[in-house]
Amino acid sequence: MSPLRCSWVLLLLLGCSPSHGWMAHFRPAELKLHMEREDRVQLTLENLAPSTLQQPERFQFRVESADTDLASIPAENATIPLAAFSPETRDWTGTIVVSAHFLGQTKFQVRLYDSQANTSELPTNWSNDSTLNVKILRPTRVLDLVFVHTVILLMTLLYINFGAALDLEVLRGLIVRPIGPCICFVTQVVGMPLLSYALGVFIFPNAPVMQLGLFFTGISPSGGASNTWAAVLDGNIHLSVLLTTVCNVAAFATMPMWLFTLGQLVFDRVGAQVPYQKIAVYCSGLILPLLVGLLVQRRLPRIARVLVRLLKPISTCLILFIIVFAIITNYYLFYLFSWQIVLAGIALPGLGYIFAWLAAKLLHQNAADALTIAIETGIQNTGIAIFLLTTTLESPESDLTTVVPVAVAVMTPFPLLGIYLYKRFCAPKTNEASASESERIV
């Protein structure tokens, strides 16, 4: 017997043939769901071989998810017995319920199981709708909006306090002798992008999307929390505010420069548009409250002195609020944390602190200025990084990739918190008294 005839005999014995293979059709073939939500899709199974249909106790269909942790089908929907098929048309049409559990992307396929041979097979005649592709997205919650707007309000009040505490003569001196600002500009604008790229390649060698998340975090300008930490740790507030302003204004040029140079090595074509409007709003939100504080300082000196005394308590409360509520509102991302994510979250700000502090000390900066430069370098504006990722990538990829800047945001305060606890409980009290007048909040 020829090989071709043997193939035909084998197909007949299995109850199928090349022209009568069964098919599966999902309608729609693509589905987007928010976490903890469910939806229904129509499934059609057709062209089942008569010999298969005559053995309902042997064969059954099962709808399976490639990743049940992301999305699944209830058990009562997952199995389709042959008894449900029409004997005349040899097909079945019904609805299945898809339940979304967590962020990501998975697919559903139908398999025909043979209990006697202990085997299974996919549709014989394949089509574009034979697989159901499911994307699970992050839900839009009121808590997220409340958190963001509360942080904006508290930051506005804090920067009014900063403005009331600023000494214009000290600021003028920093501009005339810009050694500190120049050091921070180099470590922040040049050092952090290079460091984030190198760490991304080292920590995520096989995950270019995660490299992108870390790189976008590294090219973002310094965050407003740096001023808060400078106040809490007795740094140079004047220098901190000046550095934050300079780095955020420079971001208009430095971010697109990095995106279209070194960023090309992370992905072939950068699909991101630099959020000029967001950076402009951020800079305005930084400068306007400072001007209000300066006006209070000039017109209402008594109120200004009260605001200065409240600066540290408000700064401490803001830091605690951001840390606690950032964890609460983004708790689901902690399920994505791996040792690589944690390492990246610790390494980027930690190495930024160390390299910037060493550079400042080598260039003979005093203790307060060196600490301020280190804080300003290590703290990134992770909000801008998240914005870049969400505008560059589609959901849920953008949601998944934001785990990197979220990890950086969560890990950034821990070294600074350690310094605060040391200064508060372990350092000799004389250290505080020895601080020069120019380094105090006046």
| Band of pLDDT at residue 355, cut at 50, 70 and 90 | very high
* Claim to verify: residue 103 and residue 214 sit in the same structural domain: no
- In this prediction, what percent of the chain has a pLDDT beyond 90? 20
| Range of weakest confidence among 148-162, 199-213, 334-348 | 148-162
Spatial separation of the C-alpha atoms in residues 276 and 252, rounded to whole Å: 7
Predicted confidence (pLDDT) at residue 335 exceeds the cutoff of 70: yes
Q: How many domains does the chain have?
A: 2
SS3 434: coil
pLDDT value at residue 270 = 41
Average of per-residue pLDDT across 270-298: 68
Strands 132-137 and 30-34: what pairing? parallel
The residue ranking higher by pLDDT, 226 or 356, is 356
Closest alpha carbon to 403 in 130, 261, 212? 212
Is 173 in the same domain as 126?
A: no
Both tokens of 223, joined, read 């965050």
Q: Are 361 and 225 in contact (CB under 8 A)?
A: no
190 and 127 in a common domain: no
Tokens of 47: 């062209």
**Kind plus residue range of the DSSP H or E element containing 32:** strand 30-34
Q: Which residues pair with 41 in a beta bridge?
A: 96
Cα–Cα–Cα angle for 260, 401, 316, nearest 5°? 100
Across the range 245-273, mean pLDDT stands at 69
Paired tokens of 109: 């396929």
Query: What's the confidence (pLDDT) of residue 8?
Result: 40
Residue 319 makes CB contacts below 8 A (sequence gap 6+) with 225, 228, 229, 232, 413
Domain boundary among 86, 119, 137: 137
Looking at residue 207, what is its pLDDT? 80
Residue 439's pLDDT is what? Answer: 42
Range list of β-strands (E), 58-173: 59-65, 71-72, 79-81, 92-100, 104-114, 119-121, 132-137
Report if residue 15 sits inside a domain. no
- The per-residue pLDDT for range 190-213, each reduced to its tens digit, is 999 999 999 988 998 888 888 888
What is the spatial distance between Cα 109 and Cα 114, in angstroms, rounded to a whole number?
16
Residues 203 and 273 in one domain: yes
Query: 411 in a domain, yes or no?
Result: yes
Instruction: Name which of 96-110, 187-201, 242-256, 396-410 the model is least confident about.
Output: 242-256
Average pLDDT score over the chain: 79
Bond into 178 cis (ω within 30): no
Judge whether 241 lies within some domain: yes
My answer on whether 149 and 118 are in the same domain is: no
Query: pLDDT grade, residue 12 (50/70/90)?
Result: very low
Give residue 99's pLDDT. 93
Distance of CA 290 to the CA centre of its chain: 30
Query: Euclidean distance between the first and final Cα of the chain, in Å?
Result: 100
Single out the residue in 105, 137, 169 at which a domain terminates. Answer: 137
Question: Got the DSSP string for 386-425?
Answer: HHHHHHHS-TTHHHHHTHHHHHHHHHTHHHHHHHHHIIII
| Percentage of the chain lying above the pLDDT 70 cut | 78
Q: How many residues does the chain have?
A: 442
Say yes or no: 146 and 133 in one domain.
Answer: no
Together in a domain, 400 and 426? yes
Q: How confident is the model at residue 17 (pLDDT cuts 50, 70, 90)?
A: very low
Q: Which CATH number goes with the domain that contains 99?
A: 2.60.40.10
The whole-angstrom separation of Cα 62 and Cα 64 is: 6
- The region of weakest confidence among 9-13, 42-46, 76-80, 207-211 is 9-13
Give the end of a domain, one of 107, 137, 167.
Answer: 137
Do the domain assignments include residue 129? yes
Q: Across the strands, what pairs with 59?
A: 114
- What's 421's domain CATH number? 1.20.1530.20
Residues 223 and 268 in one domain: yes
Residues 123 and 151 in one domain: no
- The predicted model gives 381-387 an average pLDDT of 74
> Which carries the bigger pLDDT value, residue 73 or residue 127?
73
Residue 200 placed within a domain: yes
Q: 237 lies in a domain?
A: yes
Q: How many other β-carbons are positioned within 10 Å of the β-carbon of residue 412? A: 27
CB 60 within 8 A of CB 80: yes
pLDDT for res 107: 93
Q: How confident is the model at residue 173 (pLDDT cuts 50, 70, 90)?
A: low
12 located within any domain: no
- What is the pLDDT averaged over residues 146-163? 75
Q: How confident is the model at residue 359 (pLDDT cuts 50, 70, 90)?
A: very high
Question: Could you tell me if 147 and 217 lie in one domain?
Answer: yes
Tokens of 257: 């420069």
Q: Do residue 122 and residue 270 come from a single domain?
A: no
Domain that holds residue 29: 24-137
Residue 8 lies in a domain: no
Q: Are 231 and 213 in contact (CB under 8 A)?
A: no
Answer yes or no: do 269 and 225 share one domain: yes
Q: Say whether pTM exceeds 0.75.
A: no
Query: Which residues are bridge partners to 79 per DSSP?
Result: 62
